[in-house]
Amino acid sequence: MLSYRHTFHAGNFADVLKHLVLVRVLRYLTRKDKSLCYIDTHAGAGGYLLEDPQAQKTLEFTNGIAKLWTRDDLPGALIDYRRLVRAFNDSDDLHRYPGSPWLAAQLLRKNDRLCLFEAHSTDSALLQAAFAGQRNVRVTTGDGFQGCIGLMPPLERRGLVLMDPSYELKTDYQAVVDTLLKAHRRFATGVYAIWYPVVERNRIEVLERSVVASGIPRVQLFELGIRSDSRGYGMTACGMLVVNPPWGLRDEMELLLPYLANVLGEAGEGHYRIRELVGDQAGPVR
């Protein structure tokens, strides 16, 4: 039975990295007029109230979006991300945080589609309510891994797939690789963004080796850490694996990740990694 609720973690440093990459990729993809399909395998509730008791219990957003909320030295791409989060709030105060589906919906056009999957029945109901009446959005309650594969290739032949399971189930580490392999075979030119948490470093090393061994070309890794790796409880870092990254994404992350590591890092332990996990062996993203 699934018990994970993102409300506890909304707006934390992991959301900052994940949503920053999401926004930058969609900004690139929407430069062309051709329609595209956005697929979110673990879409969540769509938005979160930071005054909710669950968010207040952990206060993780205080070391994430809250630290960026009033800074006047943000790089341009972070200003763009923060502007979107501000739009989700109805005042200058930070009290709500958007989920990936809401952010994607703000950047996509009328001729684009959003296919959202959420297995948790409560969050799925909230997601359906948030997008009620929007004809280009389809919300499905169920397994996003299988649902994603079933949509490949999308009718638009252009698209972005976001995979960000909670990793509450240890099998999720292998599931993201298996899903990526199957989806990529059907839709090799799509952009795939896979979020991962660093709780046990050895699991991430296995994940990286599995992606390299898959034979899938053009994979970049972007990782942000707020504390040094530890054997103790808790997430010390997180990352995004991006397959078929748009041109220019790495250059932007070279500027943004050092800034975030400095601002969000705890006790001077902020760190980051940028790595070309698999080289450029394929054509450019269309």
Q: Looking at residue 2, what is its pLDDT?
A: 52
Q: What is the total count of domains within the chain?
A: 1
Q: Looking at residue 226, what is its pLDDT?
A: 97
In a domain, 245, yes or no: yes
- The single residue listed with the structure tokens 């332990």 is 269
In a domain, 1, yes or no: no
Q: What is the distance, to the nearest Å, from the Cα of residue 36 to the centroid of all Cα atoms in its chain?
A: 17
Q: Looking at residue 181, what is its pLDDT?
A: 98
**Tokens matching residue 172:** 């999720």
Q: Looking at residue 284, what is its pLDDT?
A: 38
In a domain, 59, yes or no: yes
Cα–Cα distance measured from residue 112 to residue 225, given in angstroms and rounded to the nearest whole number = 34
In a domain, 285, yes or no: no
Q: What is the pLDDT along the chain (286 residues), one digit of tens a residue?
A: 455 568 888 999 999 999 999 999 999 999 999 999 999 999 999 999 999 998 899 899 999 999 999 999 999 999 999 999 999 998 889 999 999 999 999 999 999 999 999 999 999 999 999 999 999 999 999 999 999 999 999 999 999 999 999 998 899 999 999 999 999 999 999 999 999 999 999 999 999 999 999 999 999 999 999 999 987 678 999 999 999 999 999 999 999 999 999 999 999 999 999 999 999 754 334 4
Q: Range of 176's domain?
A: 6-277
Cα–Cα distance measured from residue 188 to residue 216, given in angstroms and rounded to the nearest whole number = 9
In a domain, 50, yes or no: yes
In a domain, 114, yes or no: yes
| Annotated active-site residue in 15, 123, 164, 172 | 164
Q: Looking at residue 232, what is its pLDDT?
A: 67
Cα–Cα distance measured from residue 131 to residue 124, given in angstroms and rounded to the nearest whole number = 11
Compute CA distances 268 → 189, 223, 261, whole Å.
40, 17, 9
Cα–Cα distance measured from residue 21 to residue 73, given in angstroms and rounded to the nearest whole number = 19
Q: Looking at residue 282, what is its pLDDT?
A: 42
Known catalytic residue: 164? yes
Is the Cα torsion angle 205, 239, 217, 105 positive or negative in sign? positive
Describe the strand order of the beta sheet including 219-225 as a list of residue ranges. Answer: 137-141, 113-118, 37-40, 159-163, 191-198, 237-243, 219-225, 271-278
Read off the CATH number of the domain in which 209 is found: 3.40.50.150
pTM of the model: 0.95
- The single residue listed with the structure tokens 């705890």 is 266
